[in-house]
Amino acid sequence: MFVDAISLGIRSSLTFEETVNATRAALLDNGFGVPHQFDFQQTVLEQTGEDIGPYVTLAACHAPTAASALKVTPSVGTVLACNVAIFERDNHVLVHAINPATQMRLFDRRELDDAASDIAALLTDVLTSVASLSSLTVSEGGTP
């Protein structure tokens, strides 16, 4: 697994569709809802004619943590949900989850630090779960 300022991520040896399904299941198992799935490949193709390759983002929400954060500052809703992107690059399927610490730092409110830590732990569990289903290639310090 890698961590950078923007995301947490893994490289999956599962197929793209298997990875999407495994990621959705792991999110649900960790208490997230997944109210939206964005197919960026289709959207970009329809609007520009350019095929960017398989690219899906799951907009996940951990409602209890979101509710706590929204009580601290309602504008935190501008950076929710916990987006998890699944895409192919250089013949590899990658899974990137938003790094919640980066999101919460935007608000400069210490009360949000615990929420960021809780979500980071849950997203790490999601990625670990997906990785356990594949023969994971681990990369440190950058995109796997």
pLDDT digits 0-9 by tens, 73-103? 999 888 887 899 999 999 999 999 999 988 8
In-domain check, residue 137: no
Contact call for residues 128 and 46 (beta carbons, < 8 A): no
- Residue 144 within a domain: no
Q: Please, are residues 37 and 58 in contact by the beta-carbon 8 Å criterion?
A: yes
Does residue 6 form part of some domain? yes
Residue 140 is assigned to a structural domain of this protein = no
Main-chain dihedrals φ then ψ at residue 58, nearest 5 degrees: -95, 120
Predicted pLDDT at 135: 59
CATH of the domain at 110: 3.30.310.70
Q: Where are the alpha helices (DSSP H) in the chain?
A: 16-29, 40-48, 63-72, 100-105, 113-132
Domain annotation covers residue 15: yes
pTM for this entry: 0.88
Is the pLDDT at 141 greater than 50? The verdict is no
Give the confidence band of 109 by pLDDT, cuts at 50, 70, 90.
confident
Identify whether the C-beta of residue 122 lies closer than 8 Å to the C-beta of residue 76: no
Q: Classify residue 143: in a domain, yes or no.
A: no
pLDDT tens for residues 41-85? 999 999 999 999 999 999 999 999 999 999 999 998 888 878 999
Spell out the residues 6+ positions from residue 75 whose beta carbon is closer than 8 angstroms to its own: 107
Range of the domain at 59: 2-132
The C-alpha R_g of the chain, in whole angstroms, comes to: 15
Count: domains in the chain? 1
pLDDT-based confidence at residue 130 (cuts at 50, 70, 90): very high
